[in-house]
Amino acid sequence: MLQAESELPARRSDMDELEEGPVEDPGRLDPRSNLRERKDELVEELELIEVNLNHPEKVLHIIKELNESIKSRLTTFLKSNIDVFTWEHTDMEGINPKISYHRLNTSPDVKPRQQRRRPLNPERYEVLAKEVDKLLKCRLHQGITLPPIGWPIPSW
């Protein structure tokens, strides 16, 4: 059973508004349009806390408006758990293998295969070697084997 146009609730008024022309306030339709103005309102003021006296550049941020007792307890807690935070990749020592580890489920009967070496641009090879050295310093990737340093770099 069809309803007459006058009986349709809000749909007709919405259509009339669209037929009249462009909307005067486009921000009303897109909530992101006034995000820049609201950004300053959303951020609270932060206070810097030095958690390591030997390294004054290592600081943490907490909200300024906190109650003094909560702020002092939070500061004490953060200072006592300073080993949890890292400021550089070298600070990350890794996860204890007793907690978690990763291994590939491969059959021990299958002989491992080595991919053939593809030529690499000398500039890219040097950049790659530097990146691998950085990762090895951080001990993030311990299973990487590189060719000897005297290995010839192809010249084009």
List Cβ neighbours of 46 (8 Å cut-off, separation of 6 or more): 61, 62, 63, 64
Domain extent listing, the chain: 42-84, 86-91+121-144
pLDDT of residue 73: 92
Enumerate residue ranges in the chain where pLDDT < 70.
Answer: 1-43, 139-156
pLDDT of residue 8: 47
pLDDT of residue 56: 85
- The structure's pTM equals 0.41
Find the helix or strand (DSSP H, E) in which 49 lies: strand 46-50
54-57 contact pairs (CB < 8 A, 24+): 57/87
pLDDT of residue 39: 57
pLDDT of residue 98: 82
CB 64 within 8 A of CB 46: yes
Q: What three-state secondary structure class fits 47?
A: strand
